[in-house]
Amino acid sequence: MSAGVFGRAAEPVVIDVWSDVVCPFCYLGNAVLKEAIEQFPHGSSVEVRYHSFQLNPGFPAGDAVLADDYLARSYGMPKAQIEGSHAQLAARGAQSGLDYKFETAMMVNTLDAHRMIHLAKEHGRELTMVDRLFRAEFTEGLNLADHDVLAGLAAELGLDRAAALEALRAKAYEKDIRADLAQARQLGISGVPFFVFDNKRAVSGAQPVELFRRALDVTWQDRAAAPA
């Protein structure tokens, strides 16, 4: 799209985010990005769009195991190493108001959770649903492979519970999710969270708030410098 058509201030700065709801770094990245936007003088002119990504697409659908047990079994990580990593991340999260309870977090196949995000997007509740799923996973220890749990979270946000259950039963939004995953492959995204600002510059990982602010500032400056 040309700079003239883009309209600099007329259209929002768009941040496309690839993340997965069982990714603890994605939860932190989500929170820090929100902090950066709140600090940004033009925060009201920023639009965040979430895209599906699966860390463990081969994990059996419907199954759920404690995430710590999964890490230990799948990667041979010693318990002390897992606990040390969690302690560091929990401390960073606490600075952003997050309450990680890693001992109850579950590993699941997240395809159905992504269906709920796409459902919520149709009703303008995408970001709220992303936040709710992260909290359900990392603070409440809920099983995000359970359709009743997912439908309950949708209803909690004001969405129709029966419609949520039907979307899960019918495997709705499959094309949208596959498009997100395909775009991630095209962009070479192999890890999340991954943030793309105005389709121009990328930030990978749960970086400090200052880095997100810098990306926002430079993106806004690009807009100001673009010819009308």
pTM of this prediction?
0.93
The alpha helices in the chain, defined as continuous H runs, are 3-6, 24-39, 67-75, 79-95, 111-122, 126-138, 147-156, 161-169, 174-186, 209-225
In order along the chain (228 residues), what is the average pLDDT of each group of 10 residues? 40 96 98 98 96 97 96 92 96 97 98 98 98 98 98 98 98 98 96 97 97 97 80
The whole-number pLDDT of residue 225 equals: 82
The whole-number pLDDT of residue 227 equals: 73
Strand partners, 196: 16, 202
The whole-number pLDDT of residue 27 equals: 98
pLDDT in tens, 102-152: 999 999 999 999 999 999 999 999 999 999 999 999 999 999 999 999 999
The whole-number pLDDT of residue 160 equals: 98
SS3 of residue 13 by DSSP:
strand
The whole-number pLDDT of residue 5 equals: 37
The whole-number pLDDT of residue 226 equals: 76
DSSP-assigned letter for residue 155: H
What length does the chain have?
228
Pick the CATH number of 3-225 from 3.30.110.30, 3.40.50.10420, 3.40.30.10, 3.30.70.3270: 3.40.30.10
The whole-number pLDDT of residue 6 equals: 37
Neighbouring residues of 103: CB distance < 8 A, sequence distance ≥ 6: 66, 68
User: How far is CA 131 from each of CA 27, 154, 187, 206, 226, rounded to the nearest angstrom?
Assistant: 8, 12, 25, 15, 34
Q: Are 223 and 13 in contact (CB under 8 A)?
A: yes
